[in-house]
Structure 1
Amino acid sequence: MNTPTRTVPGQFTIVLHSHLPWLANHGRWPVGEEWLYQSWAGSYLRVVAMLRRLAEDGATDQLSLGVTPVLAAQLDDPHCAASMYEWLADWQLRATDAATAPDPTRRELGVREFQSAAAAIADFEMHWRHGASPQIRSLASAGVMEILGGPLAHPFAPLLDPRVRQFSLREGLADARGRWARQPAGIWAPECGFAPGMELDYATNGVEHFMVDGPTLRGDTALGRPVGDTDVVAFGRDLTISYRVWSPKSGYPGHPMYRDFHTYDHLTGLKPARVTGRSVSSADKKPYDPQRADHVIDRHVDDFVDHVRRRLISESERIGRPALVVAAFDTELFGHWWHEGPIWLERVLRRLPEAGVRVGTLATARRDGYVGAPVDLPASSWGSGKDWRVWNGPQVEHLVRLNAEVTETALEAVDKLVDPAGPRHPSGYRGGRSRVADQIVRETLLTVSSDWPFMVSKDTAAHYAVDRAHKHAHATREICDAALRGRAGLAERLAHNWSQADNLFAGLDARRLYTAALPSDTGS
C-alpha cells in the first residue's frame, strides 16, 4: 500500500510573461514577423492548448499569465492572423519536402514535423481565427489562470517622462479591459523595471500587485510585500527555483537530449538536431529523438517538483509561517526556445498537487494572506546587475538621448494640438480627437520600447533594434513638424500612412494625456 504524499506548507506560483515587440510590417527574416510566427506556433498555441486541457479537467488557479498589450495587439491583428495561417501552411510544405527526401534521417524529421504542423493548423483553425482575445477571455472565465496586464508598447517605465509613463499604464489597462472584458488586478511591469514612487501610479490605477526580481526584495521572496504606504503588493521571483529551468549553465533546456534551438536543416528550415553537448558544433550534433527526450522530461519534472517541495518546507521553517515560492519565466521559453517546455510545464502542474504542493496564482497568494510587512523598494529590474544598466548604460546612451528628445518633441506637439487648457493652435485641432496627435503618441511609445536597448545591450539583432527606434523617431518628428507648421493636410496624410504600418492600439486617444483617472471608454 502506497503512503500518501505529505502536504507541504505554503503555495507555489508560476508566472509567465508573454511579450514580443511590434513586428508586423517591419521585416520578415531573419528578424521581424518570422519571430512572431515562430513564437506563436512554438509557444502561444501550445501553452494555451495546455491551459485549455487543464480547464477541461476542472483545474483552477494554475498560473498567472502576463500578456503585454503590444503582443495582444499582434495576436488579435487580422494581418498577423492571416500571415500566421500562411506560415503554418508553409511549415507543412517544408515538412513535406523533408518527408520525401532520399535521406532517411531527413525523411523521419519531415514526417514528424508534418504531423506537428497539421496539429497546429487544426488548432489554429478551431480556436485562433478570431485572434487570441477569445481564448484568453475563456480561460480567465474558467478560472484556470489569472491574467496580468501591463503598459502599452512595453516601455522601460523608470526612464520615461512621468506623463508618458502614467499614460502608458492607464492605456494598457484600458486595452486589457477592451480585449478581455476585465481589468487585470496585477501587472508585469516591463523588464520588472521599478523606480521609487511607481507604486503610487499603480495604486491610483487600481493595480493590486506586480512582479519584481528576487534581489529587489533582497532575496527574501517568501512573502509578497506591500510597497511604501500603499496596499500594492510586490511579489518577487524566487531565483533558487526559477534557475532550475532558466540558468544558461545548468538549466533543463540545455540537456543533451533536448532539441537544439540553434541548428537548422538548411534545405527546409526545420530543426533536426538535439543539443548533444555544449561545445559540439552544429555540424556534429546528433539527430533529435523525441522518445529519448520524453524520458528526460519526466526526470526533470520529478527534479523540479522535489525542489519546489523542499523550498516550500525550508522557507516556511525560516519565516515561521507558510511561505510563498514564485517561479517566473518568459512564456516564449516554453516551446519557442525550449521545444519540450510546454510538455514539461503541463506535467509539472499536474504532478505538483499529487506531490502535496498547493498551486495558485499571485491573486490567490494576495487573497490568502501570503503577504508580509511593507517595504520600500530600490530602483531595480530583472536585467543584468538587477539595475537599469541594460536600458541606460553606456552602450545604449544614444538611444536614451533619442528617447528623451522624441518624447519632448511629441509632448510639445500634443500639448499644442489637443491640450484642452491650452491656446488654440492654427491647425484647429484643439478640443476634439486628433488622429494626428494619436499617431504622434503611438510612434513615440514604439520609439521608447524597452526591446530596442535590450537588443543592443545583448547584441541580439542590434542593427534591427537601432533601425526600429530611429524609424519610429523619424515618424514622430515628421508628423510633429507638419502639424506644428500648420500643414494639417500633410500631417493627416503622414499620420495615416504611418498607421498603415503601425496599426495597433486603435483606442489610443492622446487627449487622455490630460486625465488623471482611468479612461472609461475608448471611443472618439
Structure 2
Amino acid sequence: MHYWRITSPKTDLGDKMLYDPVLALNKVNENSDHYTTLIYHLLNDYKMAHNGKEGLVMVSFDTELFGHWWFEGVEFIKQVVKKFATYLPEVERMTAGEYIHTYPPKEAIQIPESSWGQGGHFYVWNNHLTEWMWPIIHACEKRINKIADKYPEIPEDKLLHRALNQMARENLLLQSSDWPFLITTWQAKDYATDRFREHVDRFEKICDMIESGNIDDAALREIESIDNCFPVIDYRVYQSVEEGVIPQQSKKLAPLYVD
C-alpha cells in the first residue's frame, strides 16, 4: 500500500499529493523506454567508434530500495527486461557472474577501499560500539568453512542437507550489515543486538548438531520456520577455494553456476 506521492523532495508529509498508481505506471513506462533506448545508443555508439568492437555496460542497482523507497522499482526492471527481450534482442543481457563465467578475467586491478557509509569508510559498521561483533562473525566464517568442506557433495541424508543449508542461512543473517549499522546509529540498538545474538545462537546450535551427528528434526524445523529466507540456498558456496580463484571458476563449485 502506497499513500503519498513524493511530490517534491522538500514537501512536508501534510502537503504531499495522493499517490496515483495509473500516473506512476505511465511514468515507469516512459522511464523504461528512455532507459532501454539510452543503453542501446551507448552500445551502438561505442561499436561504431571502435571498429565494430562490442561494448559492455555494467548496470548496478541498490535493490533494497525496490518496492521501498522506489515503489515502482520492481515494475521498472520488469519492463526494461521485457523491452530488451522484445525490441532489442541483439543487446545481450547477463548477470555479473554469468559474464565472468563466459569471459574469465585475464588480469586484476587494485581497487581502493571505500564504502557508501559515513566518510566513505567503514566506521558505521566497525567502531567502539560494534567491535565486539567481529570476532564472533569471523569465528562463524571459519566454522562454516570447516563444516562445508566436509561435505563437498550434497549428502543423500535429507535431514543433514537441510541442516547444512539452514546453517548457511543463519550465517548470512548474522552477517547482515544492518545489525552493526543500527547499533552505531542508535536507531534500533537493542533490536539489532538481539537479532544478531539470535542468529549466532541458531547458527551455533545447528553446527553443534551437524558436528555431533545428532540432528534434532523438530529443533531444525522450528529454526527453519523462523528463518526461511533464501529457499534455494546451497551451503557449498562456503567451501574453500584455491587462493586467487573466484567461485565461478572453481571446478569444485561449477555445478552451482550452471543454468
Please indicate the TM-score interval, normalised by the length of the shorter structure.
0.5 to 0.7
Q: Is the 8 A contact 2:165 2:233 kept in 1?
A: no
Distance 1:390 1:507, change over 3 A: same
TM-superposed deviation, 1:444? 6.2
Change (3 A) 1:342 1:314: same
Q: Where does structure 1 lack aligned partners over 5 or more consecutive residues?
A: 1-269, 421-431
Secondary structure in 2 aligned to 1:326?
Answer: coil
Cα distance in 1 for residues equivalent to 2:161 and 2:82: 49
| Matched residue type, 1:289 | D
- Cα-to-partner distance string for 1:450-474 (whole Å, 9 max, x where unaligned): 7622453375766544323211222
Does the aligned pair in 2 maintain the 1:403–1:448 contact within 8 Å?
A: no
2:252 aligned residue (517, 520, 523)? 517
Q: Which of 270, 275, 287 is the aligned partner of 2:6?
A: 275
Query: Are 1:324 and 2:56 matched, yes or no?
Result: yes
2:60 alignment partner, SS class: strand
Q: Does the 8 Å CA contact 1:399/1:453 hold for their aligned counterparts?
A: no
Q: CA RMSD in A?
A: 5.3
Amino acid at match of 1:473: V
**2:247 counterpart residue number:** none
1:465–1:436 Cα change, 3 Å: farther
Matching of residue 384 in structure 1 with residue 116 in structure 2: yes
Matched, 1:292 2:23: yes
Tell me the TM-score normalized by structure 1: 0.33
5+ unaligned residues in a row in structure 2: which ranges? 242-250
1:57-104 CA distance string (max 9 Å, x none): xxxxxxxxxxxxxxxxxxxxxxxxxxxxxxxxxxxxxxxxxxxxxxxx
Distance 1:388 1:476, change over 3 A: farther
| RCO higher in structure (CA 8 A, sep ≥6) | 1
1:501 lines up with 2:223 in the alignment: yes
Give the count of matched residue pairs: 227
Identity across the alignment (%): 17
TM-score (norm 2): 0.57
Q: Is the strand fraction higher in 1 or 2?
A: 1
Q: Which residue of 2 aligns with 1:398?
A: 132
Cα offsets for 1:96-126 (capped at 9, x unmatched): xxxxxxxxxxxxxxxxxxxxxxxxxxxxxxx
Aligned position for 1:470: 197
CA distance in 2 between partners of 1:325 and 1:453 (Å): 28
Displacement after TM superposition at 1:449 (Å): 3.7
Is this contact kept in 1: 2:167–2:206, CA < 8 A?
Answer: no
Which residue of the other structure, out of 443, 446, 450, is the alignment partner of 2:170? Answer: 446
Q: Structure 1 residues 396, 306: closer, same or farther in 2, change over 3 A?
A: farther
What SS does the corresponding residue of 1:283 show, helix, strand or coil?
helix
Distance 2:201 2:16 in 1: 45
Change (3 A) 1:492 1:352: closer
Shift of residue 497, structure 1, vs aligned partner? 1.5
